[in-house]
Amino acid sequence: MTINDIYPPSFKRTGSKEKWKPILIKSGAVIGSNATIMPVTIGANSIIGAGSVILKDIPDNAVVAGNPAKIIRYVK
């Protein structure tokens, strides 16, 4: 879901998909409300804190929070 995105990517508007970047959310990841996620990969079984700003790839089993998000710990 995107919120407040005035100009979301659109092939009709841009005429190309070459600058689009993917967001990959792996299995079992949990994302708190109002998190902002840039084009990154969120690892399997990771937990993203509410309101976090994700600027870098998140490894598997990591718990992250903050702005910018930092790894707090790892879950087993």
Residue 4 in any domain: the answer is no
Indicate which CATH number applies to the domain containing 49.
2.160.10.10
Number of domains in the chain: 1
Instruction: Tell me which residue range forms the domain holding 39.
Output: 16-74
Residue 7 in any domain: the answer is no
Residue 21 in any domain: the answer is yes
> How do residues 22-64 score in pLDDT, each as one tens digit?
899 999 999 999 999 999 999 999 999 999 999 999 999 999 9
User: What pLDDT sits at residue 20?
Assistant: 80
CA 32, CA 18: separation in Å to the nearest integer? Answer: 30
Q: Is 1 a residue whose pLDDT tops 60?
A: no
* Residue predicted with more confidence, 12 or 9: 12
User: What pLDDT sits at residue 76?
Assistant: 83
Token readout for 34 is 């109002």
Residue 26 in any domain: the answer is yes
Residue 22 in any domain: the answer is yes
Residue 52 in any domain: the answer is yes
CA 59, CA 56: separation in Å to the nearest integer? Answer: 10
